[in-house]
Amino acid sequence: MRSARAAFCLLLPGGNHVTGVLWRQQADMGKNTRVVLLFGGFVAAVAAAFYPIYFYPMMHIEEFKKEQAVNRSDVVQEDVQPVGLKVWSDPFARK
């Protein structure tokens, strides 16, 4: 009866133990590469989604201040502010 290693080697290309070990290492590297690419792709997708939501407004504060001033110019706070709530404040003001 043959050993498991000998039977494994006969099934692999080349038929010897060294070729089998190298073939097995290449197969493992392919799995690792796929996992790294999948994980890297997920991280890239999350970063791409967060950029326009969080990072772009933080890097262009003046542009967003001007836009808020235009958007709020026609709003009278007393007319829209519920009684007892804090009055609107500048979201870009430093604390």
pLDDT of 6 strictly over 60: no
What pLDDT is recorded for position 39? 96
Note whether residue 89 is domain-resident: no
What pLDDT is recorded for position 86? 77
Range of the domain at 40: 4-70
What pLDDT is recorded for position 46? 96
pLDDT band, residue 80 (cuts 50/70/90): confident
b (16+ CB within 10 A) / e for 48-80: eeeeeeeeeeeeeeeeeeeeeeeeeeeeeeeee
Residues 25-77 pLDDT 10s: 656 667 788 899 999 999 999 999 999 999 999 999 999 999 988 988 888 87
**One-letter amino acid of 73:** S
Note whether residue 29 is domain-resident: yes
Note whether residue 16 is domain-resident: yes
What pLDDT is recorded for position 56? 93
DSSP string covering 29-72: HHHHHHHHHHHHHHHHHHHHHHIIIIIHHHH-HHHHHHHHHHHT
Number of domains, the chain: 1
